[in-house]
Structures are given as structure tokens and as C-alpha cells.
Amino acid sequence: MRILMAGVSGFLGTRLVDRLTADGHQVTRLVRRPPRASDERQWNPSAAQLDPAVVAQADAVVNLAGAGVGDRRWNAEYRQLIRSSRVDSTTTLAITIAGLPAQDRPAVLLNSSAVGWYGDTGDRAVEEDAPAGEGFLADVCRVWEAATRPAEDAGVRVARLRIGLPLDRAGGMLKPQLLPMRLGVSGKLGGGRQWWPWMSMADFLDAVVFLLETDDLAGPVNMVGPAPVTNAEFTRELARQLHRPAIMPIPAVALKVVLGGFATEALSSSRVLPGALTRAAFPYRHPDLASALHAALTD
């Protein structure tokens, strides 16, 4: 399969490129700088610049572009970057796809979104049919997903990947927890009652391939494991596998000092279930947190 991919340099993008190329797919990478390799093509989503001929050569498009939500302390400028980096890239791809002759359009667009769509769900479990919630990330997800509409209206299959917390010791939300946990100076965040929608990295990559190959899967897809846990449960299991104590809870007020506006999202509860993947009989490798964490820490 010829796959055009945006967001190739990020935490998930680098792993997905490796997986797709290992599976024998031809991946063309969209980059904002001048190309340095034969598989790179330049684009400028902030100016809506993308050569339609590059898209016309693809069987599928995968868009994981977006500034990291946990990479920096949030201020007004960074909030705008979080939003624009997602909406601009999605809009540019969707409009370019829609503008192609029908016979040249890719068959599918897999576009990232996030479980932030649901806002704080408390203890209420939600699937893909739940409406958007409240808060900054929910608002971003709403306009982010809406930006795929031109491709969808043009008859292209669009799957919107509402990504949870993929587990990998080299990045994401797991990496910054490892050193404090190994030093014995970590614990639950705030009260620890908030639900965390984790997914093993292997299952995330498998699910992307599954969505590329499953022609009748479209719309929102929760990219999470089948058994969400609370932050306190997550912390206990991580401590058990690292053979370390987890007796120093991090107060909510300390998180707000360190993380600023992102603290509200870090302390929110997302009890999200993978309804679409479950109904499609997606074969999870790691259906429980213990096996997912073991894989993240040892693979």
C-alpha cells in the first residue's frame, strides 16, 4: 500500500513509520523543511500548501500531526499552537483530497484526534457515540475532527482516531513517570480517582494497520485498551512491576504550579471504552494493564 503520512517525527509517528515500512508498505513522509530523503515531500499546512500530485499518488493518508499537549507549560501562545497545528494540517489534507478527481483520491484518511473529545467523564464510561465534552481539549477535538469533513463529503472513508495514552517507556505519558518511580518519590496524581484510557504501543500500531485494512470502519474510533483503570490503580501496577514503592502522592496544587493549564487535563477523568474496535473484533495483544505495562517496560 502507498501511504502518505503527516506527523512522522513525533512519538507515535516515528514508531508507525517503522511498523508500516517493516510490513512492506511504501511510506511517503510529509515534512515542513526541505526534503532530505527520497521518501520525503515538503508541505506547509499553516499556509495550506500541499502539492495535489503528492496526495494523488497515495492509496491511504495517515495524519498524526500536532504539537505535543504535554511538551510545554501551557500559555495562550501554546494553546493556539496546539489548536492550529492540528486544524491546519487536517484542513490542508482534507481539502486537497476533496479537490482531486474521484479516481485519484486515496481510499482512506486516518486522522488523529484524542479522547480529550469527551472532556471529564468522571466515573461514566463512554464510547464513540458520546457527545463532545467541555474544556479546552474537547473544543480542540471538535474543530479538529470537523476539519476532516471535506474528505468525507467527497466519498473518502475517514476514521478519526481518538487516541488515549499509548504506553512506551521511551515517550508519552509513561516516560516521565519512570525515573521518579524508580527513585521512590512518586505516587498517584491528585486523588488518583481519575480514569486513564491506556493502550499498549503494540496494540496502537496493530489498530492503525487494522483500520487501514478494514474497509467498513469509519467515523470516530477510540484508540484505547478494553479495561481502563484509575490513576491510583495505574500507579500501583507500575510500582509493582518496577518493585518500588508508590507512597508519595503528587498534590493537585503542585501539578498546577508545574503544568499550568495542562494540569486540569492531567487530573481529568476519561473512562473511555473501545466500542468500535470491540465490535469489529480487533484482536488485542494486551487486553489488561499488567500485560501492557510489562510489554512497555521490557520490549
Q: Above 80 in pLDDT, residue 116?
A: yes
The stretch 118-132 carries a mean pLDDT of 97
Write the pLDDT tens digit of every residue in 234-281.
999 999 999 988 777 776 655 554 555 556 666 789 999 999 999 999
Number of domains, the chain:
1
Is 259 part of any domain? no
| pLDDT band, residue 171 (cuts 50/70/90) | confident
In 3D space, the residue among 106, 116, 3, 7 whose CA is nearest the CA of residue 56 turns out to be 106
Is 85 part of any domain? yes
In this prediction the pTM is: 0.94
Which domain range does residue 29 map to? 2-167+199-226+271-285
3-state secondary structure of 14: helix
Is 264 part of any domain? no
Looking at per-residue pLDDT, the higher value among 68 and 36 belongs to 36
Is 65 part of any domain? yes
The CATH number of residue 8's host domain is 3.40.50.720
Residues in the chain: 299
CB 62 within 8 A of CB 26: no
Is 172 part of any domain? no
Is 175 part of any domain? no
Is 121 part of any domain? yes
Is 81 part of any domain? yes
Ordered DSSP codes for 204-271:
HHHHHHHHHH-TT--EEEEES-SS-EEHHHHHHHHHHHHT------B-HHHHHHHHBTHHHHHTS---
Beta-carbon contacts of 127 under 8 Å, excluding residues fewer than 6 positions away, are 222, 272, 273, 274, 275, 276
What whole-number distance in Å separates Cα of residue 123 and Cα of residue 219? 25
Phi-psi region of 45 (alpha: psi -120 to 50; beta: other; left: phi over 0): alpha
